[in-house]
Each structure stands twice: as structure tokens, then as C-alpha cells.
Structure 1
């Protein structure tokens, strides 16, 4: 029997990524100002700690072995000016509410990880944007420049990296305070129901689940169990590791083990546009002791996936590497199987997670970017079907969502259509599921996880027909 050794990053200098091509980096106009900011970040306290990252890796190992399910979600891009206790609580509670549905209905532990406390930068397909004959640098997220279409706002400003750090620290403090106060307790499912889905068509179904959870907790207490172990649920944070100057400044060696950790978040992922196996992002991530993830789009080949495994998970350690696939509803059945087959045959135990959002973006006749709930659900369905056919584990879902009643995606239980998009479209980049659509997705996925049936589609698409 082979024994897997704990992951030890290969002995390279932590700045070796600087010798590699680095995609999607801002053109900072003042190198001296950037150096001053990164020096200040390097002296700042870590945002997360090594033991927290190790605990998440242990839980992701269970996902990779087929013993748990990852629920990862949050904003497309966080706003430095939009961070508030209310918004953080809304996203946290929506994710925990979804976790409760999945855990109870599917009888499988769920690992909740937020796209939060660091998701302030976005990769872009073009370096510039043109409006009415005026061309300016593209908006790259609040960590880099401003959304307003003015020359002043669009200049990359390294001082925003310090604001990103402080906003992330404040968000993490709120999350820790909410969870310490029992806001993550399964015993509060009825309260979540009142606050978040009082008007949902699934309200009565959710009440039955909440009643079942209450009954299970009472049974545990009556038989000497420890329901407090569930009531002190841990919540982890993640973001795309895009801005390498920021990430490198917050990389620390653990005093106990000497291993390097990214202390900007528990789980960092490398995006579809920066996953070059020989690029700077992969080089930087290869040295970390954190769990790491990589987004894989429809152009990914099995050879590229295997290269990423060799670079990021050379010891084949469960929990170390997660592949987040974002294929699109029409491509996932064709593209995903050879990737899963060849990676599995290599001996790697990666966690396979479905991002059903990024491959299904479309433009409504009104000009708004949107996503249809049926396409989101359809890609998740196909993802599960591929893994069932191969005998592998569909390890989780990765969704862009908010706890607010936005109108950015169409479809779902409340039947939003393109005419509703302007009512409350608040995303600075990509459309997010609102709280009702998020819970709707959780119910459908829970049904599929139970194996009773595939999730049913909520109806015909209205995007192309409307307007």
C-alpha cells in the first residue's frame, strides 16, 4: 500500500514567478508607488492563517475522495465602496442556507467556501474599452482602477491594493463574528427561512427540511451527541489569485513548518486566462502549501490538465488541487469526459467542481449581460451525468451569487425575464444569481445528489424570444 507524503513545495525562491510571463497584470504607471505599497503589505498581518488553510485542505481531501461536496459562491467582483455588514451577512447566510439544503437532503457533508474577502480583481478579454470614440483602459476591478469611464478613474492605482487588503480584513472580521455568534448554526434554519425566502415557491419544502434538521439536533442532544460541533460550522474564503504583486506580498512562511502560504485567502484559484503551466501564476502557486484550484474552460486539453497536475500536485495529495470546470451547457458533455478519465488514470485525486456560470453568459436585446437559470442548471446536470457515467465524484459547484434581490439572471422559480433586468441590475461585471435563484439551484442539485432524478428544467428560455 502506497502512503502519500504531506505536500512539500519544491525548494525554489518565492520570487521565481517574476522570471515567467505574467498574463493579465495591470500596467502600473508608477513602479515606485507600487513598490511602496507591496512593502507595506509585506509587513501587514496575514489575513488567514496556516492552520485554517490546512483544515480546508483536509475537507477538500474528503471532496476529492467522494466523501463531501464543495459549495463555493459569492460575488463576481466585490466593491470597495459596497462592503457592509448587511451585504456580508446576506452572502454568508445564503451560502449557509444552500449548505443546509444540500447537507440534509443529500446526506453528504458540505464544505462552504465564499468568493469573498478578496475578489476585487477581474481578468478581462481586452486591455482597453471604447465608448463613443473614446478609448480608455478597461476596468479590472476595484483593486486596480475605478468603474467610472473617465481617464482619471481608469488609471491603475497601487493604493487600491491597500484598500483591498483593509476591506478584506474587515470582511473576514465580520464573517468570524457572525459565525462565532452562532449565525452558522443549523438550528437557525427557520430564521434564515423567514429572512430570506418568505416569498419563495419553495418555502414549504424548506420548512420541512428545517423541521427535519431541528428534529435531528434534538435527537442528538437526547442521545448525548454533540450538535455544537455542527453549530460551530467553519466558513472559508477564496478568490482568484490574479494580481501577483499583491499575492506575493502576502505570501508568508509558516513559523512552525517553514512552508509558504498565501495568506490573502484559504483557497486561491488560477483563472482560465492565466493557467499557462509555464506561466507566472502557476509557478507562484506551485510553491504554496495552501489548497489551490484552476479554472478549466472548453479549450482545455487532457495534456494541459495533466501538466497542471504535475506542476501543482506532484505528490498526488487529495485536497491539494481542485479543477473548476467552466465549459458551457452545450460543451460540457463532450469536453469534460476525456479530462476526467486521463486525470483519474494518472493517479491524481483532484476535486472536480462545476462552474455553470461563466460558460453561459449571453447578451439580452436590451444590452444587459445575463445568464439563464436553465443553462446554469443544465450545465450542472451534464456535469453530474458525466461523472456518474465515469464512476467518478461530482465534487461541487462554484456559482456567482448574492444575498440581495438583484435582477441580473433570468429564469428560476420566480420567473424573471429580460424585461426585469433593469429593475435591479447592480453587478459591475458579470450577472449573479439572486438569493431565490441560489436556493432554487440548491434544491435542484440536492435532488440530483440523492439520485432520485435529474433536476428538471424550469421552463423554456425567454431571452431570445423576449424583446
Structure 2
């Protein structure tokens, strides 16, 4: 590395580290600063999890979605766990996203960008720093990257060695994702096989009908001598909330081609509703990396909030750089979103707009489970598309919490999961997720919305 390159890198990191002087919300209380530094040093010595060129490619794909030429499907676990990073569970999450993408692509005749909330979604913001059960109060569970879920002092103590463990689990997950999506598993001629092992219900039957149509189309191309090698593999990117800065900073690297900084922990990173303060550490940090960036916007977000975030995170108005992820709630989206869309449009900015129909619709069941009603999720989805049609802007994608497993965490859907059924397979350590069949139902509904003028 030349002295000029070294100087450029040093300046870039000096600018990045301005975040250290600002308030960083939702960070754990590490008991041993020396152990945090040791973990940081170890992370900094590891190879990158993703590459700058991949992040650049995703940014180009997202730019197409912002123009209305593609659609973003972003989904995965609310909070990944180390224990669930098994081959079968990773395969089923990828399979569910691939199935949803097939429904969207074939139903709406539009390219679908596939981004998994995977290989890094191990840290979660909490409404309280502590949790009390009976007479015992312990630190809140902040995700496997910080502490354990078991309600014991040993488990709930923040442990910086988990930062390194999270890196290695993410590397293993990415390795398997790449094998699945590039090694034949994503071949569109296997669309029937993707549905095997799931109990039959209307959503799966509808998918099987679509799979049969795709089979006929592929056979027709074969008969015509068309080379459909592009159908044998697919692009697949990973994303997570860049919440834990002690994890993100050591994995930020200088791209040798350009001298610019990339956070190599994931292709796309986002900042949450609780940490998107303009004068906070998270927004400052993300303003200095070249990855595609997302920002969650809740029902209290104003046009001024959005424009100031654009000025901070995307001052050059670069297509594909900034994605706004709205999470308004079914009862508020039709009132709030149109004005937000119009205000940003009138200011000449064109970020990618996608909807998170999950986080604004949380409830607690009479049996004590955190859950969401599938009908509320669908209603917010419809409100998102209605708002864009009203304003004349592009509905660019969806961001959903889902799993490839047949869990019972969200009420309703064609399975008619009721409050008593929640206890059957409620496995989330954080927020409730759509199961495989509910995810397919959602994809068909979105495909119908995309068909409308």
C-alpha cells in the first residue's frame, strides 16, 4: 500500500470515527472494556463477509427499483439466533424467499431483488434495558450478538466474545446461501421441489399451479432452443440493522479500488426508528460507508425528517443509495404516507420506498403472546400501494419478518391460526414472524397489487 493510499484510508477512518463523540442509543453495557477491545481487534483481523463490488451491484439493482423497474423483496428472521443457523433452517428461509420471488416475478412481470435479513441480524433494540420476572430483574435480551435468552445472570450478562461468534456464524450462513443460490438449488426448473415437505393449504396449492405454468414456459423455451442458463442461479444479498457499533466498526474496510469505506458485515444496512436521530451515532456512522442504506420511518416521521435524512445519508442524491422503510401501522398508513411521499417527491428526491407491514401492527394476545394479525399486515400492504397510486410514486418493495418453518406466531391467514394455536409452535425469541404459508399468501397479494395500474 502506497503512502498516498495509506493517507487516504487514514482520513476516511478519521471521518468515520466522528460517530464516537455522539450518543449511541441501544448499546449494551459491556462489563469489561478490555474484552470488548480484544473482540474488536479480532474482528478487524478477519476477512470481509461481503465485498464492495457486491454492495455496488445491489445499489444498482435498488436504483432500478426506485425507478419502478424492479421490486425489492427483503425478509427473514426478526432476530437470528446462533442455534438456528443450521443447514435445514437456512435452506428453508432461502427457499421461502425464492418462492415469494417467483410469485412476484411471474405474477407481476417484474425483476425481483432478493435480500435476506440473514447473516447478521443478531442484535435487537429493546424498549427497556432490563427485564423483571417476579422478584428478579436482569438485563434485557439484546440478541445473540450481546447476551443469551435464558433468564439467568450468567446468560444475560453482555459478553463481547459473542461478537466474534456472530461473525463466524454469519460467515457460515453466507457460505451456505451462496452455495444454494449459485449451485443449482435456485434453478427455476426445481420450483415444484421447493414446495415439498409443506402441508397442503390454499396458498401452497396456488403456488403449485403457478409452478406448473413456469414448467410449461421452460419446456417451451427448451423446444425453441433458448439458452436459459440464467434460470439456474440467482442473485441473493444479505442485510441487517446496523445496531451494534462495536460489531460494525471493526468490519468496515477501505475498498482498494476507490479508497472508500464499506461496512463488510452485510450488503445492505439499515437504521431503525429508535436510532435514526440526525445527531446520533448510527446515522453519522452510516453516512460514511458506501453500502446501500435503509432508514425505518414510523407514523411520527415528517417530511422535514425525511429530507434531513436524505441530506445526511444521500447528499449526492445517488440512485439506489437510500431506502426508506415505512412502518406506519394499518390504521395510520393511509393518513400519514401520502403526505410524506408527496413532500419528498416535491423536493426532487427519489429514494426507494418500501413497506414494513409488520412492526406497526404488534399486539399482545389474551394468552400473553406478542403477535400480529395477518389481516392487519395485509391491510397495511394495501395502504402502502394505495398511497403510492394516490401520489404517483413507485411502491418499490416489502420488508417482512418471516421464517421457512411452520411456526404459529401470527394470527390468521388461510390456516386460521387463533389465539389458542399460538402456543403450538411459537419459537421466536423476539417478534412474531410469518410462517412459510402466510409468506406465500402475502406474496400473491403483493403480486396482485403490482398488476394494478
State the TM bucket, normalised to the shorter chain: over 0.9
Q: Structure 1 residue 334: deviation in Å?
A: 1.2
- 1:146 paired residue among 145, 148, 154: 148
Q: For structure 2, list consecutive stretches of 5 or more residues without a partner in the other structure.
A: 1-8
CA deviation map 1:9-30 (0-9, x unaligned): 9966221110111111111111
The TM-score with structure 1 as length reference comes to 0.93
Partner of 2:364: 363
Partner of 2:201: 200
For 1:451 and 1:330, the matched residues in 2 are separated by: 22
Partner of 2:103: 101
For 1:135 and 1:263, the matched residues in 2 are separated by: 36
Q: Which moved more, 1:10-19 or 1:328-337?
A: 10-19
Partner of 2:218: 217
Does the 8 Å contact 1:354/1:396 carry over to 2?
Answer: yes
Partner of 1:42: 44
Q: Structure 1 residue 343: deviation in Å?
A: 1.2
Does the 8 Å contact 2:182/2:234 carry over to 1?
Answer: no
Partner of 2:446: 445
Partner of 1:68: 70
Q: Structure 1 residue 223: deviation in Å?
A: 4.2
Does the 8 Å contact 1:143/1:160 carry over to 2?
Answer: yes
Alignment RMSD, CA only? 1.5
Does the 8 Å contact 1:142/1:160 carry over to 2?
Answer: yes
- 2:170 paired residue among 168, 171, 186: 168
Partner of 1:232: 233
For 1:79 and 1:443, the matched residues in 2 are separated by: 29
Q: How does 1:415-434 map to 2 (within 5 A)?
A: 415-434=416-435
Does the 8 Å contact 1:318/1:350 carry over to 2?
Answer: yes
For 1:332 and 1:293, the matched residues in 2 are separated by: 19
For 1:187 and 1:351, the matched residues in 2 are separated by: 31
For 1:399 and 1:389, the matched residues in 2 are separated by: 23
Q: Structure 1 residue 347: deviation in Å?
A: 1.9
For 1:350 and 1:222, the matched residues in 2 are separated by: 42
Q: How does 1:67-466 map to 2 (within 5 A)?
A: 67-196=69-198, 198-223=199-224, 225-451=226-452
For 1:219 and 1:352, the matched residues in 2 are separated by: 36
For 1:311 and 1:92, the matched residues in 2 are separated by: 34
Does the 8 Å contact 2:330/2:376 carry over to 1?
Answer: yes
Does the 8 Å contact 2:63/2:319 carry over to 1?
Answer: yes
Does the 8 Å contact 1:291/1:319 carry over to 2?
Answer: yes
Does the 8 Å contact 1:48/1:263 carry over to 2?
Answer: yes
CA deviation map 1:383-433 (0-9, x unaligned): 000001111111111110000010001100111111100001000010000
Does the 8 Å contact 2:204/2:437 carry over to 1?
Answer: no
For 2:117 and 2:287, the matched residues in 1 are separated by: 21
For 1:79 and 1:15, the matched residues in 2 are separated by: 29
Q: Which moved more, 1:337-346 or 1:356-365?
A: 337-346
Q: Structure 1 residue 449: deviation in Å?
A: 1.2
Q: For structure 1, list consecutive stretches of 5 or more residues without a partner in the other structure.
A: 1-8, 453-467
Q: Structure 1 residue 344: deviation in Å?
A: 1.4
Does the 8 Å contact 1:239/1:268 carry over to 2?
Answer: yes
CA deviation map 1:305-344 (0-9, x unaligned): 1110000111111100000001100011111112111111
For 2:132 and 2:61, the matched residues in 1 are separated by: 45
Q: Structure 1 residue 177: deviation in Å?
A: 1.1
For 1:408 and 1:190, the matched residues in 2 are separated by: 26
For 2:171 and 2:319, the matched residues in 1 are separated by: 29
Does the 8 Å contact 1:68/1:108 carry over to 2?
Answer: yes
Give the length in aligned residue pairs. Answer: 443
For 2:251 and 2:35, the matched residues in 1 are separated by: 17
Partner of 1:464: none
Q: Structure 1 residue 133: deviation in Å?
A: 2.1
For 1:232 and 1:81, the matched residues in 2 are separated by: 28
Does the 8 Å contact 1:317/1:348 carry over to 2?
Answer: no
CA deviation map 1:203-249 (0-9, x unaligned): 34222211222233333444454422232211100000000111010
The TM-score with structure 2 as length reference comes to 0.95
Partner of 2:4: none
What SS is found at the alignment partner of 2:354? strand
Q: Which moved more, 1:135-144 or 1:204-213?
A: 204-213
Q: Which moved more, 1:131-140 or 1:90-99?
A: 131-140
Q: Structure 1 residue 102: deviation in Å?
A: 0.6
